[in-house]
Structure 1
């Protein structure tokens, strides 16, 4: 049995510490750490201090853990998103809404280096920190109760803030996207915030790497608007392409990964 599968099976069976995994499989701790890193990028485990836990349905990753998964695809998605902002023809500086999430944080990082003035409203700490020193970018936080693990704001204060804005374009993150159901969310509160962001924006763009299309990791769903776009990457499965193509509300955009990039990076 390949080493990766044996190590993953051991983690699933309850062996979580690096030293214990190394002893069980008769390999070095450095080998275990390397394989765990590869399994994490593949979305199978979550690394912890000194070991790892299996990533199953309903397991929520932290912001840092999510940012390491499919990073190449997320950066390309962010490039396409920033290009969309640059192409807005409004006769004034645009107002951009950034949902909480790892992909929207990559978008914020690229917007921070943009020479064009703009306003950004965000419901996440990731985009906030990426933009906190960006010159020419006016940043507004739709803040409420902080969900520490994911760096997202939820609650009445967020809803009140969003009710008072009309962004030109909103980039919405997703742990899973099924057009017939919506965006998969950990909680009803998160689903409510995503739905409200979609309702308030003139243009709605879901940013989701190919692994998210068709995924149903959580039991709560944010309904999609009557018209939306999806930016994803070219590792999308045939089933994923069909699901997006079959939704008349959806205008999918597929970005290419650089040749030679790792599929899970």
Structure 2
């Protein structure tokens, strides 16, 4: 690698350390080189475990397997999550029964469901429950609310565990809206936490359609617990288009990818 190449990689690492991420097209503009050249820089840095390449760029490597708290998740990529929530809500029809899991992205759906008629929402999310109760008390939401009870995770503001799973088994829904912590074309959708993953899996099994919502930071990432293969998903709603190299496999397993941009 030339001295100028090493200097550019040092710039990338400085950006990663200060901003937490770099965007490929921004590096192309800064360096005035091709995207292929930037990709090689990122590959070199990933090989030495200095960053993690993701769709559209790279992110700082997390040395922890711990899931961020709900409050921290709620403020990450919030504008993108709002657009995803609005796009996902368009998939909901009047008179449907839907699962909404505890994700910060699925939470953004709720305000866009208020005009739906005769909706029934089942959720294990405490913030989603409070939001629905508030809308119901203000006569802004006319549907039914079912809270999936069980063991409370105070840090994540959600319910998980065997009692919650048994409760889900009593219901059948039209759609399950699922947040994830990682998605890869060959590894499926993954979660930081196995208890959350098991409950989500149960929701998917008891729904006619499974809809995954995922901001760009989840694409190309894999976490501890595998929730399902991609072939078990019907729709993915994201803030960005599907990676070009994923499209053939998505078509093969009949997964529709909706970009909210």
One fold, TM greater than 0.5? yes
Deviation at 1:116, TM superposition (A): 2.7
Change (3 A) 1:7 1:180: closer
Residue ranges of structure 1 left out of the alignment (5+ in a row): 12-41, 46-53, 257-265
1:116 aligns with 2:125: no
Residue ranges of structure 2 left out of the alignment (5+ in a row): 1-9, 21-56, 137-141
Please give the per-residue CA displacement for 1:195-234, whole angstroms capped at 9, x wherever unaligned. Answer: 1111000111001112212211x22111146351100122
- What TM-score comes out, normalization by structure 2 length? 0.70
- What TM-score comes out, normalization by structure 1 length? 0.69
SS at match of 1:164: coil
Which of 102, 113, 127 lines up with 1:100 in the alignment?
A: 102
Which of 205, 209, 215 lines up with 1:203 in the alignment?
A: 209
Report the Cα distance in structure 1 between the residues aligned to 2:252 and 2:183, rounded to whole angstroms.
12
Please give the per-residue CA displacement for 1:40-99, whole angstroms capped at 9, x wherever unaligned. Answer: xx9978xxxxxxxx94451311112112111121111111111111xx3xxx62111101
Tell me which residue corresponds to 2:48.
Answer: none
1:73 aligns with 2:42: no
Deviation at 1:244, TM superposition (A): 6.0
Is residue 96–residue 168 contact of structure 1 (8 Å, CA) maintained in 2?
yes
The number of equivalent residue pairs is 209
Which of 214, 220, 223 lines up with 2:225 in the alignment?
A: 220
Report the Cα distance in structure 1 between the residues aligned to 2:171 and 2:107, rounded to whole angstroms.
21
Stretches of 4+ aligned residues off by more than 6 angstroms: 42-45
Report the Cα distance in structure 1 between the residues aligned to 2:187 and 2:15, rounded to whole angstroms.
35
SS at match of 1:160: helix
Deviation at 1:127, TM superposition (A): 1.4
Report the Cα distance in structure 1 between the residues aligned to 2:131 and 2:157, rounded to whole angstroms.
13
Tell me which residue corresponds to 2:14.
Answer: 5
Tell me which residue corresponds to 1:233.
Answer: 239
Change (3 A) 1:99 1:109: same
Deviation at 1:115, TM superposition (A): 5.2
CA RMSD of aligned residues (A): 2.9
1:61 aligns with 2:62: no
Deviation at 1:246, TM superposition (A): 5.4
Tell me which residue corresponds to 1:141.
Answer: 147
Which of 169, 173, 181 lines up with 2:175 in the alignment?
A: 169
Change (3 A) 1:44 1:251: closer
Tell me which residue corresponds to 1:84.
Answer: 91
Is residue 208–residue 230 contact of structure 1 (8 Å, CA) maintained in 2?
yes
Tell me which residue corresponds to 2:188.
Answer: 182
